[in-house]
Amino acid sequence: MTIPARALIDLGAISANVALLRERAGGVPAMAMVKADGYGHGIAEVARAALAGGATWLGVARLAEALHLREAGLTAPILVCLCGPGEPYDRAVAADVDLAAGSAGLLAEIAAAADRAGRPARVHLKADTGMSRGGAGPSDWPSLVDAALAGQAAGRLRAVGLMSHLACADEPDHPANAAQLRAFAEAADYAEKAGIHPEVRHLANSAALLTIPAARYDLVRPGIAMYGLSPLPERGAFGLRPAMTLSAAVALVKRVPAGSGVSYGMTYTTGRETTLAVVPAGYGDGVPRHGSNLLEVLAGGRRRRIAGRVCMDQFVIDLGDDPIAAGDEVVLFGPGDRGEPTAQDWAGALGTISYEIVTRIGARVPRVYEGRPDGRATS
Ligand SMILES: *Cc1c(COP(=O)(O)O)cnc(C)c1O
C-alpha cells in the first residue's frame, strides 16, 4: 500500500543531533524540547530518541503534553514551561512533573495543589530578563522568591530550578543577549542569597547553546537543532542532520494541451503541451498555501515548482516531457541529500522560520519512523 503523504522521521538523526549538541555545549546536561508534538515529529518517539542521544530532561510547553509523556511511559524529569491559572496541578504533582512559575499567584495555586496531593511540587522560578513575555521581571522577582521560600518552608514547594529565555539568541551579536545574561545572573544571585539553592539554572535555547557559551549554565534547552534544523541558517548547518522527510506518492498523471489553466483561480497556465502530476498533499496537511507557484519539490530527480495554487488536499506540478507515473515518490522537503529542498529552503522562500514549516505538518500525515533511536545506523 502506498501512503498518499507521509513524514518519514529519522530517529537516528535526532539521537545523533542531541549527542552533537551535548558535545558543542561542553557536556552540559540537555533538556530536549519536545513541545508541539516534538516540533511536528511525534512527541514520545522524539523524546525516546533524544534520551538515547544523551538528553536527561524533557521540556514541553503545556501540562497536557507532560502528562501524555508520562502515560507513554517516559520517566525522565519533565518541565512544563508555560503554566497558567486553573490547570490540574494536582495531576502534575502526582505525575512528578516540574512546573515553571513566574508569578506568586501561580506559585500559591501550585502549592495548594501540592497540599492536596500530599507531596511537594517541583518548581522552576522563571525570570523575565528582558523579553517581556513569561516570568517575573525585576520588580516582581523578590516577591516570587519570597513566595517560593514560604512554600518550601511549608513543605509544599521545592524550587529546583531558576530559568529565563532569550529574545535575540538567533542574533548572537545583539546587545540584548549580554543584558539578559546580566539580568539572569542578578536574579540568580538574589535568589541564592535569599536561600534558594536550585539544582539547575537554565536559559539557553539552540542558538544560545551553539553561539553563547556563557548562557549554558547547568542545563541547555535545545529544540530546533535537535530536529536537525539550524537556528542560525545564515551561519550554516552546524553539522546537524534534518530528521523529517515529507513525501507523497503521485496520485494521477495526465497530458494536457498548451493553455491549460491549473488549479483554483488558474493562476498557472501551461505554456505548451505538457505532463502534469497531482501530488496528494495540501494545506490540510500543512503545505503552506502561500507556497502556491513558489515552493519547489523533488520529482523525477529534479526540482519542480508547485504549479498553481496549493489546495486543501493536493497540488499540481508540471513535468514538461519528463517521465513520471502514478505512485512515484515526490519529496517535498528533507535533509537535501537527493537534491530535495530542506525545510529551511521552504522557510526562506516563504519568509518564515523552519520551526513553522515542520510544526505545521498536520495530524492527517502519518509519521513513519526509521533508524534506531540510539543514533547507531540501521543495517
Ligand atoms: C521552545 C523552547 C526552547 C527551544 O528553543 P529552540 O529555539 O527551538 O532551540 C527553549 N526554551 C524554551 C522555554 C522553549 O519554550
- 84 within domain boundaries: yes
Residue 131 lies in a domain: yes
Indicate whether 79 and 203 sit together in one domain. yes
The answer to whether the CB of 24 is under 6 A from ligand 1 is no
Q: Is the pLDDT of residue 139 over 60?
A: yes
Q: For residues 287 and 257, is the Cβ–Cβ distance under 8 A?
A: no
In the beta sheet, which residues pair with residue 318?
Answer: 276
Same domain, 249 and 200: no
Best mutation site among 41, 65, 81 for ligand 1, i.e. most ligand atoms within 8 A of its Cβ? 81
Does residue 312 have a known ligand-binding role? yes
Nearest to 246 by CA among 273, 301, 285, 290: 285
Q: What is the CA radius of gyration of the chain?
A: 24
Whether 213 and 259 map to the same domain: the answer is: no
Provide the pLDDT for residue 371: 83
What is the atom index within ligand 1 of the atom nearest the CA of 61? Answer: 15
| The one-letter amino acid at 373 | P
Section 11-19 average pLDDT: 98
Q: Which sign, positive or negative, has the C-alpha torsion 280, 282, 287, 291?
A: positive
Let me know whether 264 and 190 are in one domain. no
Is 309 within 8 Å of 300 (Cβ atoms)? Answer: no
Residue recorded with cell 497536557 = 64
List 193, 264, 283, 369, catalytic entry: 264
Residue percentage of the chain with pLDDT more than 90: 97
Whether residue 1 is predicted with pLDDT greater than 80 in this model: the reply is no
pLDDT value, residue 3:
78
Same domain, 289 and 343: yes
- Distance, CA 185 to ligand 1 centroid (Å)? 20
Tell me the CA distances in angstroms from 16 to 35, 59, 350, 377, one per residue in order: 19, 19, 29, 10
Instruction: Say if 379 falls within a structural domain.
Output: no
pLDDT at residue 90 tops 70: yes
Q: Is residue 375 in some structural domain?
A: no
Do 189 and 290 lie in one domain? The reply is no
Residue 74, all three cell numbers:
517516559
> Within this chain, do residues 255 and 148 fall inside the same structural domain, yes or no?
no
Q: Which residue has the cell 518552608?
A: 153
Which residue among 209, 221, 230, 232 has the greatest number of ligand 1 atoms within 8 angstroms of its CB, and so is best to mutate? 221
| Beta-bridge partners for 9 | 244, 369
| Residue 126 is a catalytic residue | no
Q: What percent of the chain has pLDDT over 70?
A: 97
| Residue 92 pLDDT level (bands cut at 50, 70, 90) | very high
The mean of the pLDDT values for the chain is 96
Report which ligand 1 atom has the smallest distance to the Cα of 225.
Answer: 9
Q: 332: CA distance to ligand 1 center in Å?
A: 26
Sign of torsion over alpha carbons 334, 10, 32, 15: negative
Q: Which stretches within the chain are classed as H helix?
A: 11-24, 35-39, 43-52, 63-71, 89-94, 104-117, 141-153, 175-194, 206-211, 343-350, 354-359
Task: Say if residue 268's pLDDT is above 90.
Answer: yes
Task: Give pTM, 2 decimals.
Answer: 0.96
Instruction: Please report which confidence band the pLDDT of residue 372 belongs to, taking 50, 70 and 90 as the band edges.
Output: low
List phi, psi (to 5°) of 285.
Answer: -105, -5
Classify residue 174 as exposed, middle or buried by CB count within 10 Å of its CB (0-12, 13-18, 19+): middle
Q: Which residue has the cell 530532561?
A: 57
Residues 59, 60, 62, 66: is their CA dihedral positive or negative?
Answer: negative
Residue 379 has pLDDT above 70, yes or no: no
Domain that holds residue 314: 244-370
Residues 217 and 255 occupy one common structural domain? no
**213: in domain:** yes
Specify the number of domains making up the chain: 2
Query: Does residue 266 share a domain with residue 177?
Result: no
Whose alpha carbon is nearest atom 10 of ligand 1?
Answer: 205
- Is 228 part of any domain? no
Q: Is 355 a catalytic residue?
A: no
- Kindly give the distance from the C-alpha atom of residue 69 to the centroid of ligand 1, in angstroms, as a whole number: 18
Q: Which cell numbers in the block locate residue 184? A: 539572569
Cα–Cα nearest to 174, from 255, 232, 216 = 232
Query: What do you get for the CA distance between the two ends of the chain, in Å?
Result: 23
Relative to the CA of 163, which ligand 1 atom is closest? 13
Domain end among 163, 188, 221: 221
CATH of the domain at 70: 3.20.20.10
Q: Does 33 count as an annotated binding residue? A: no
In a domain, 342, yes or no: yes
pLDDT at 68 over 70: yes
Residues 85 and 206 in one domain: yes
Q: Is residue 205 part of a domain?
A: yes
Buried b (16+ CB within 10 A) or exposed e, 329-362: ebbbbbbbeeebbbbbbbbbbeeebbbbbbbebe
**CATH code, domain with 366:** 2.40.37.10
Phi, psi of 101 (to 5 degrees): -130, 130
Q: Is the pLDDT of residue 169 over 50?
A: yes
- Cell output for 373: 533511536
Quote the CA–CA distance of 117 and 260 in Å, as a whole number: 67
CA angle 323, 326, 327 (to 5 degrees): 115
Q: Are residues 198 and 319 in the same domain?
A: no
Answer yes or no: is pLDDT of 316 > 70.
Answer: yes
268, three cell numbers? 498557472
Looking at the fold, whether 310 and 348 belong to one and the same domain comes out as yes
